[in-house]
Amino acid sequence: MLLRRGGLHQHRHLTLHATAAAAATTRTSAIDDLLTLFIPSAPRINPLHRRKTLARISRSIKLSLLPPFEPAACALLASEMVPEALSALRHMRALSQTPSLPFHNLLFRSLFDKGDVFSLLRVFRDMVAVGPAPDHLAFEALILGFCRRGDVGRAEALLWLMPRFGCAPGVVAFNMVINACCVFGRALGAFAIVCAMAETGCAPDVVTYNVLIGALFREGNVGEAKKVFEEMVESGVEPNTRTYNVVIDGYVKMGRLKDAVLAFDEMTQRGLSPDCYTFNTIVAGYVKFGREGEVGHLLKEVLRDELFSAEELELDVLIARMCWDDQMDKAAEILRRSLKDDNGTPSILAFHSVITAYARSGFETEAFELYRSMVEAGLSPSASTCNSLLMGLCRNGRLREAGVLMDKMVERGFCTSKTAFTILLDGCFRVGDRSGAMNVWKEMERHGVSPDVVAFSAFINGLCVSNWMDEACEVFEEMLRRGLFPNNFTYNSLIHGFCNDGNVSEALRLEKEMRKNGLQPDIFTTNIIISGLCKQGRFKSANDVFMNMCDNGLTPDVITYNTFIGSYCKTLDMVNAVSFVNKMSLQGCEPDITTYNIWIDSLCRSRMMSQAVKMVDELVSVGVVPNTVTYNTVMNGVCEDVLDRAMILTAKLLKMAFVPNIVTVNLLLTHMCKQGLTERAVMWAERFSQVPLTFNETTFNILDRAYRDLEWTGGIRGEEEGRSSFMEFLMHITIDYMYELSHPKSRSWDIKDVLDYGFGELPKAIEAR
């Protein structure tokens, strides 16, 4: 009996083994069929990529308990082969197999990334018709995707569709749509959704209020932003650090630095700990608005160390302090030393601060070397860190190296994001390389990166700045054809372009179109239109816009006042200029370096150099740091002033860390020609071309006139020896500074070598993740 039982057991064991073997054979055969079906030897597929995808599919199917089509489709999505994944989905439907909800969510994300909305809607219709019924995660994936595309209408429609499938929209789904409304300039729609949200019994949370407050600040509507903040507190929702960061950022961007510091004080009084973002926002505001002289006091008395005492923030804030204090080398050394200690690895944010500071200052070698240290330590670089490296090169006009970096990043799989392409696109436009920008746009499409609203807006803005308005309008139409919705920045770029082109009527038509499409013109829109009207001398219309702006709840900022003051000064209408200075003071809006430059320029053009000197002295006393425009304005006045006082003013310029640019060179060449030193001007132009210095159209016009003058007059006309020596002195100090600027003290390097070392294979610590 035992033998019989043993035999039976052995027989069953053999039978099960044979069945398993047969199943394995069948499964292997199914895998082969799937590979043949979905991964043909198509020319568009790289052979190496095809082999990796085959291995991924085979591994996914062997590890999965699901029918083989779904794991195969998931593996195809992981390999960014979306059309093949859709083909797998169609076969599943044909075999009456129901794909899972997680697969659909993954497919939705991939289709959004590719911009294939048509296929996405078809997949969603199939879900509704034959299953599986979408759950709240599927709806949220769809809502998020449409929000990112700017298709707020579809996102909101999905929000109200959720209850039909037994999914009551939660605060996360509502916040997605509210945020999209605000990002794409539909703040009124956002508030309507908040009201509807309350009717469903879903209460707004701190994220909801943060989004609304940020939107109102971006529009310049400070009064309403304050009311929403007060309403939040009254409703029992406590503000957090993010809330105050939004408020501080809003004040800083409007130039209201005192209000930003007051908000910071209120934040600390509530017991909230400021973070690195708080720190960087406030310091960046002081630097941006020419208040570098007050940064030392700010760091000691306001942004005190004890306020950032949280252990996880201590190193981040210390590093940020050093970066703003131009101590990047010391900060980098602290990071490298901390990597060797056993007290924990520094955060990616700390590395990002130093890398960004290096890149911003033009020290790309140091930025890449620190990046390499970061990768070697097993820290996974964020997309923003990679983009900082790219942005540093673009800002310093090193487009060739930026292109090499971009190619390497794409090749190694580090960065294929829309943001990186957008940075490179913007960099090309900054140096006037329109054909290069067009090539970047084509490359973006070739790499399968579907341009989003931000990328289209950057492209349109670049064309507008380059005065290619017809092409900008064509790209705008293409954006609409693709189903993307323009935001305020898109419209502001076009409005600015038409105003600069003198076509204010078209700009005003676009502003009306904005309102018709549910977008609320913001402070930037209004400032652009005021500037366009002032340039045409239509001051009454500009004042009407100013008054309507106040009635609509928008608060004029320093740019608004500077536009009026500068425009009135140019027409020598000092009465109205002073009137707007007084309005600015009553509003509590502090003058920035541009305000002072306007007055200094007016005084210099009126040959009131003594008053101009006093104004320059006042700059230093109020903590406003002169910029290149200040130097050039005073330099222009110096060249036409009496010789003794000109020497005194020049000494003042040198004490203020004189930083020349091409405008400086152009005005010096102009004055040399005016004073009969044409031959010397041509000689100096030749020396400047060897710095090297990129001449602009103004430079070439000056030189054309100089060469014609040499032909007609034979060169030097009579000129006092002192004046001639003084002009030569100015040229000498300018070319010395230009030479230093074009030859930074950082070590020479080859970007390819740095990238091959720093962007090689990922460390095991990263692979494990």
661: amino acid identity, one letter: N
Comparing 484 with 154, which gets the higher pLDDT? 154
Question: Which are the contacts of 581, defined by CB distance < 8 A and separation ≥ 6?
Answer: 561, 565, 591, 595
Locate the domains of the chain by residue range. Answer: 31-127, 612-742
Closest CA to 104 of 128, 115, 114: 128
Whether residue 410 is predicted with pLDDT greater than 70 in this model: the reply is no
pLDDT score at 11:
39
pLDDT band at 746 (very low <50, low <70, confident <90, very high): very low
Whether residue 769 is predicted with pLDDT greater than 70 in this model: the reply is no
**What CA–CA distance (Å, rounded) separates 662 from 226?**
44
**What CA–CA distance (Å, rounded) separates 32 from 639?**
82
Whether residue 753 is predicted with pLDDT greater than 60 in this model: the reply is no
Tell me the three state secondary structure of residue 228.
helix
pLDDT score at 677:
83
Whether residue 20 is predicted with pLDDT greater than 50 in this model: the reply is no
Whether residue 647 is predicted with pLDDT greater than 70 in this model: the reply is no
**pTM score:** 0.61
First to last CA, the chain: 56
The pair of three-digit structure tokens given for residue 87, joined into one six-digit string = 């083909």
pLDDT score at 76:
66
**What CA–CA distance (Å, rounded) separates 531 from 549?**
14
The pair of three-digit structure tokens given for residue 110, joined into one six-digit string = 């991939």
39 Rama sector, left if φ>0, alpha if ψ -120 to 50, beta otherwise: beta
pLDDT score at 539:
93
**What CA–CA distance (Å, rounded) separates 585 from 499?**
28
Question: 55-59, 333-337, 377-381, 651-655 — which is least confidently predicted?
Answer: 55-59
Q: What is the number of other CB atoms lying within 10 angstroms of the CB of residue 603? A: 22
Residue 221 in contact with residue 191, Cβ under 8 Å? no
pLDDT band at 542 (very low <50, low <70, confident <90, very high): very high
432 Rama sector, left if φ>0, alpha if ψ -120 to 50, beta otherwise: left
pLDDT score at 580:
92
Q: What is the number of other CB atoms lying within 10 angstroms of the CB of residue 214? A: 21
The pair of three-digit structure tokens given for residue 310, joined into one six-digit string = 């949280």
**What are the angstrom distances between the C-alpha of 643 and each of 270, 380, 677, 728?**
59, 60, 16, 13
How big, in percent rounded to 5, are the helix, strand and coil portions of the chain?
75, 0, 25
Question: Which are the contacts of 170, defined by CB distance < 8 A and separation ≥ 6?
Answer: 136, 202
333: amino acid identity, one letter: E
Whether residue 304 is predicted with pLDDT greater than 70 in this model: the reply is no
pLDDT band at 531 (very low <50, low <70, confident <90, very high): very high
pLDDT band at 532 (very low <50, low <70, confident <90, very high): very high
Question: 29-33, 218-222, 613-617 — which is least confidently predicted?
Answer: 29-33
**What CA–CA distance (Å, rounded) separates 599 from 596?**
5
Report which listed range, 47-61, 248-262, 634-648, is most confident.
Answer: 248-262
**What are the angstrom distances between the C-alpha of 39 and each of 28, 36, 82, 85, 451?**
16, 6, 12, 10, 27
Tell me the three state secondary structure of residue 49.
helix
Whether residue 42 is predicted with pLDDT greater than 80 in this model: the reply is no
Question: 106-115, 418-427, 710-719, 756-765 — which is least confidently predicted?
Answer: 756-765
Whether residue 119 is predicted with pLDDT greater than 90 in this model: the reply is no
pLDDT score at 626:
79
390: amino acid identity, one letter: L
Question: 16-25, 645-654, 739-748 — which is least confidently predicted?
Answer: 16-25
**What CA–CA distance (Å, rounded) separates 198 from 164?**
19
Residue 55 in contact with residue 65, Cβ under 8 Å? no
Question: 58-62, 432-436, 487-491, 542-546 — which is least confidently predicted?
Answer: 58-62
Question: 95-109, 175-189, 195-209, 231-245 — which is least confidently predicted?
Answer: 95-109
Residue 280 in contact with residue 251, Cβ under 8 Å? no
**What are the angstrom distances between the C-alpha of 489 and each of 148, 388, 441, 493, 747?**
15, 22, 19, 6, 39
- Dihedral of CA atoms 126, 131, 136, 141 in degrees, nearest 10, equals -40
pLDDT > 70: percent of the chain: 74
**Mean pLDDT of all residues in the chain?**
75
pLDDT digits (tens, 9 = 90+) for 121-176: 777 777 777 777 777 788 888 888 888 777 788 888 888 888 888 888 888 889 98
